[in-house]
Amino acid sequence: MQKLSKNHTALLILFLVIVWGVNWPLSKFALSYMPPVLFSGTRTLLGGILLLIIAIPRYDRLFFRKTWFIYVISALFNVILYYGLQTVGLAYLPAGLFSAIVFLQPVLVGIFSWLWLGESMNLLKVSGLVLGFTGVGIICSGAGGLSGHISVAGILLALGSSLSWALGTIYVKKKGPSVDPIWLVALQLLIGGLFMTIMGSGTESWADVTWAPVFLLTLTFISVFVIAIGWLVFYKLMDSGEASKVASYTFLIPLVAILTGTLFFNEPFTLSLLAGLVCILFSIYFVNRKA
């Protein structure tokens, strides 16, 4: 396992939180130009093609016959189920509440890491994980996430998205050392992106896509920085440290999403946002503090 320096780790976490945070409002914006399933498939497929170009010179590290199942299972949990359930679920549930449920993921990762990876678990870490999820809930409820119709189907889809991401994270943490990281992300995105693009082509119409320059710019940013580079950074962090500790920082992602909305979409900065931020900061401190 390759350890990163504290400064390197901090920079990678900062990058990931920012790009995955702005992804939420950018994706919401992009969906006004492209149907949801086609958008999910296209952005992941483009990210996979980009990484494939980088991965091809490393062909001698692929060992596809021996490791193909790792790529398929990773694609199933981290791309097809995670993005697929997320895309469908947003049609049934307010975005704020949906994202709050999805970011139950760090709590699930903490529990699964303890059960299956042998990572330490103590009262302080448990308290931190619960506190982080509470902070996300406070932020999203204050941002209007609890307004509107609450659908049981939407809640189940959000829970499914969170569970699939958590299981995918633990699976990659356990099996990742057996494969080349760039090939892992590239094939995960290619398999999942191709599947969702084919599915979207059968259920939606390409004629409904508006190929405006601003949409193409948004799609490019998401495909390159959020999808391709973002997943590489996420797995790099997971490989270099405890999964539960790294996952705790993803609690900050909904905060970045809402701050982006505040700055660029004139959404209000509320007391609940401040309260949620305090909860999240204490959460990260508790999860990473040595007992």
pLDDT means per 10 residues, the chain with 291 residues, are 75 91 84 91 95 92 92 95 84 67 78 82 82 76 53 82 91 88 93 95 96 96 94 84 70 77 68 76 73 55
- What is the pTM (predicted TM-score) of this model? 0.81
CB 79 within 8 A of CB 164: no
Tell me: the pLDDT tens digits for 193-243?
999 999 999 999 999 999 999 999 999 999 999 999 999 998 888 777 666
- Which residues, other chains included, contact 92 with Cβ-Cβ below 8 Å and sequence gap of 6+? 151, 153, 154, 157
Q: Identify the pLDDT of residue 141.
A: 67
**What is the rounded distance in angstroms from the CA atom of residue 41 to the CA atom of residue 84?**
9
Please name the amino acid found at residue 42: T
Cβ atoms of residues 8 and 241 within 8 Å: no
Q: What share of the chain is helix, strand, coil (3-state, %, to 5)?
A: 85, 0, 15
